[in-house]
């Protein structure tokens, strides 16, 4: 259940972060692309076209000066060439401006002048053609051509100034864009690091919660819940392998006297020291758990009754010889141990626990600080009158009818 909730939370957070990151990427990408298109525009070709167009007026003036000494038809030819060249330059410039669509808004005030220039060039072209039949119009056409030349010079100078202003603005935009992207990158990296830290924190919290669910808070040993889960799997494995599985119940003798004499804090410290000693003496393959107030259980796979009794007696002697801090030597606790073994592969944990509990009761009744065993026969079933599985899990040594 906890794994399911954790996985749901983890995937939910990952999905939300992915959506936010995707939205930020789309917005940022769109902005960067639009700004980059505008800021990185190359106006070299447009500026070259403007410079070429500006040269048309001086060429016209020079041609008119030389043409004044030529026949009228030659002067009209010079003017016609000027008009053709001016039209060509104007079309090239307007095409280049249309290519830079971001530039249109910046030079919007000049568009009407482009239209006016185009109209005047067309009108002058008609007048030049008419002057071939009416020589008296040649002087008027020459004057109009010079005026148009000055007009387009002014227009192209204005256009160059606008382009220079736009280029300066683009450099500023690029600087701001670079700064903005850098800040945004820092924010994204920071958000990613924060998310990773949160995931690590959640994983750590999940591990702590899982550990709290499976371990005893006071001693750090496994609790009854974990013992039952492990025992169920171990019994199934023992049945498949036809291997013995032993169960040992350990109970501290006269522990209530320690609590009454020294207080519960000292009693808790005694439990911690005993737990540490039992953990040191148990095998890595064994499962040691605290299942009651001062009652412990040791599950030993692949262990015969003879080996389990040897281990139990060693534990009993080590606890008896181990002087615990905070207690007088005469008050050092001892343990009573009950041992049973499933050698038939037919018992469940409830039945195995019942036999070990009866063996522990026997050890208590016979004077404590001793090891007793009770083995089920191969054909035996659970003893009559045994406590239910739920009561066994809730049972502690305080509930034993034998005195401490």
Q: Indicate the burial class of 378 (C-beta count within 10 angstroms; 0-12, 13-18, 19 or more).
A: exposed
Structure tokens, 347: 């018992």
Strands 287-290 and 295-301: antiparallel
CB 290 within 8 A of CB 232: no
* Mean pLDDT of the residues in the chain: 80
pLDDT in the model for residue 244: 94
| Chain region(s) in the chain for CATH 1.20.120.330 | 2-195
Q: What is the dihedral of CA 256, 261, 264, 270, to 10 degrees?
A: -80
pLDDT in the model for residue 32: 61
Whole-angstrom Cα distance, residue 67 to residue 61? 10
Question: For residue 257, how many other CB atoms are within 10 A of its CB?
Answer: 13
Whether 317 has a pLDDT exceeding 80, the answer reads: yes
Whole-angstrom Cα distance, residue 33 to residue 20? 20
Which stretch of 48-57, 90-99, 377-386 has the lowest confidence by average pLDDT?
A: 377-386
Whole-angstrom Cα distance, residue 270 to residue 126? 117
Question: For residue 220, how many other CB atoms are within 10 A of its CB?
Answer: 13
pTM higher than the cut 0.75: no
Structure tokens, 66: 């030389």
CATH of segment(s) 224-399: 3.30.70.270
126 pLDDT band (50/70/90 cuts)?
confident
Structure tokens, 143: 């004057």
Question: For residue 183, how many other CB atoms are within 10 A of its CB?
Answer: 10
Fold that domain 2-195 belongs to in CATH = 1.20.120
Question: Residue written as tokens 């040691």?
Answer: 288
Whole-angstrom Cα distance, residue 147 to residue 138? 14
In 3D, which of 110, 107, 108, 103 has the Cα closest to residue 43?
A: 103
| Chain region(s) in the chain for CATH 3.30.70.270 | 224-399
Burial track 78-107 (b if 16+ CB lie within 10 A, e otherwise): bbbebbebbeebbebbbebbeebeebeebb
**Residue, of 73 and 94, whose pLDDT is higher:** 94
Region at 343 (left for phi over 0; alpha for psi -120 to 50; beta for the rest):
alpha
Question: For residue 221, how many other CB atoms are within 10 A of its CB?
Answer: 23
Longest dimension (CA), the chain: 148
Cβ neighbors of 299 (< 8 A, separation 6 or more) are 227, 230, 231, 234, 245, 246, 247, 248, 286, 287, 288, 289
Whole-angstrom Cα distance, residue 378 to residue 367? 30
Structure tokens, 70: 């030529």
Structure tokens, 355: 């036999």
Whether 392 has a pLDDT exceeding 60, the answer reads: no
393 pLDDT band (50/70/90 cuts)?
very low
């Amino acid at each position: 259940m906890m794994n399911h909730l954790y996985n749901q939370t983890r995937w939910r957070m990952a999905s939300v972060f992915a959506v936010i990151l995707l939205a930020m990427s789309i917005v940022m990408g769109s902005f960067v692309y639009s700004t980059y298109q505008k800021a990185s525009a190359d106006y070299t070709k447009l500026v070259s076209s403007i410079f070429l167009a500006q040269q048309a007026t001086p060429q016209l003036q020079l041609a008119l000066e030389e043409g004044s000494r030529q026949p009228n038809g030659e002067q009209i030819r010079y003017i016609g060439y000027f008009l053709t060249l001016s039209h060509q330059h104007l079309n090239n410039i307007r095409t280049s401006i249309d290519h830079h669509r971001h530039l249109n808004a910046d030079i919007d005030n000049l568009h009407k002048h482009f239209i006016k220039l185009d109209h005047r060039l067309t009108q002058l072209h008609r007048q030049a053609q008419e002057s071939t039949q009416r020589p008296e119009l040649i002087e008027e056409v020459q004057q109009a051509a010079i005026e148009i030349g000055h007009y387009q010079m002014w227009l192209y100078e204005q256009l160059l100034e606008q382009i220079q202003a736009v280029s300066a603005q683009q450099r500023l935009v690029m600087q701001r864009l670079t700064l903005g992207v850098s800040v945004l990158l820092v924010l994204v990296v920071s958000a990613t690091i924060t998310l990773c830290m949160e995931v690590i924190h959640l994983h750590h919290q999940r591990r702590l919660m899982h550990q709290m669910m499976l371990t005893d808070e006071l001693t750090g040993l496994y609790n009854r819940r974990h013992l039952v889960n492990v025992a169920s799997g171990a019994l199934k494995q023992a049945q498949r392998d036809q291997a013995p599985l032993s169960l040992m119940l350990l109970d501290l003798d006269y522990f209530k006297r320690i609590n009454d004499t020294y207080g519960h804090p000292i009693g808790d410290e005694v439990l911690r020291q005993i737990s540490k000693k039992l953990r040191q003496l148990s095998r890595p393959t064994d499962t040691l758990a605290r299942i009651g107030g001062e009652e412990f259980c040791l599950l030993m796979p692949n262990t015969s009754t003879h080996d389990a009794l040897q281990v139990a007696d060693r534990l009993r002697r080590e606890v008896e010889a181990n002087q615990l801090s905070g207690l007088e030597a005469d008050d050092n606790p001892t343990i009573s141990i009950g041992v049973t073994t499933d050698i038939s592969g037919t018992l469940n944990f409830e039945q195995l626990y019942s036999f070990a509990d009866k063996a522990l009761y026997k050890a208590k009744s016979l004077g404590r600080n001793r090891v007793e065993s009770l083995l089920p026969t191969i054909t035996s079933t659970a003893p009559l009158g045994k406590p239910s599985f739920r009561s066994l899990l809730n049972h502690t040594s305080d509930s034993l009818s034998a005195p401490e």
